[in-house]
Amino acid sequence: MATRAVPELDQLAHAQLYSEELGLDLARGREQDLFCWFLASLLFGQRISETIARNTYRSFVRHGLTSPQAIIAAGWDYLVNPVMREGGYVRYDESKSRKILRACEMLLELYGGRLSRLHAAARDARDLEGRLLAFHGVGPVTVNIFLRELRPYWAKADPAPSPPVQALARRLGIDLGKYDRKSLDFARLEAGLVRHRRWVRHAIPGGSQ
């Protein structure tokens, strides 16, 4: 059986953000970085491995599909093959390609392709989440992934940590209530908890779900 020591709090608190791992700097507020993180969140939000989601995101980048306009111009056939196939995103490639296209079309239609406009249009955190949920193929998991690393930078981004992350924190004796949820430190701690939970689920038979 695979073994791994329980992570130290310091390790979790200094975890790399998922957006950083993909080469994105959300602190700069650049539209391209925001859109690429939205695209990555759409991919990570599916029930597939992180490796496949990451590889598929990089396939989009490799093919120059880093804006809603570029994705729409590429079309459904091109997204399915080669983009999704090269990333290993085979099981859901056709349906996910369709959902990504429709999300891009909606982003252009309602917000001129700019996620910063979506944030500006939202009245508060709840409205922001509702506007994201209105996108075709976007559910609560995807919204949580997208917004949790934007908490330090978007005033209205403040999703609660997911129930599995909260449960893991309790098991590890970490009081999430002691942290400023809008801080970068909290975002790193949360990313560390997400990574550790995924490792437990996939590396240890019968591990935490």
> Sorting pLDDT into bands at 50, 70 and 90, what band is 206?
very low
Distance CA 112, CA 115 (A): 9
Structure tokens at 78: 């091109």
With tokens 């949360």, the residue in question is 190
Output the pLDDT for position 6. 58
pLDDT tens column, 31-55: 999 999 999 999 999 888 999 999 9
**106 CB-near residues (< 8 Å, 6+ apart):** 134, 135, 136
> Sorting pLDDT into bands at 50, 70 and 90, what band is 3?
very low
Structure tokens at 12: 């979790």
Q: Are 197 and 165 in contact (CB under 8 A)?
A: yes
Q: Are 152 and 27 in contact (CB under 8 A)?
A: yes
> Sorting pLDDT into bands at 50, 70 and 90, what band is 110?
very high
Output the pLDDT for position 79. 98
Output the pLDDT for position 203. 58
Domains and CATH numbers, the chain: 9-202 (1.10.340.30)
3-state helix, strand, coil in the chain (%, to 5): 65, 0, 35
pLDDT tens column, 166-203: 999 999 999 999 999 999 999 999 999 999 988 776 65
Q: Please choose, from the candidates 153, 174, 183, 185, the residue with its C-alpha nearest in 3D space to the C-alpha of residue 28.
A: 153
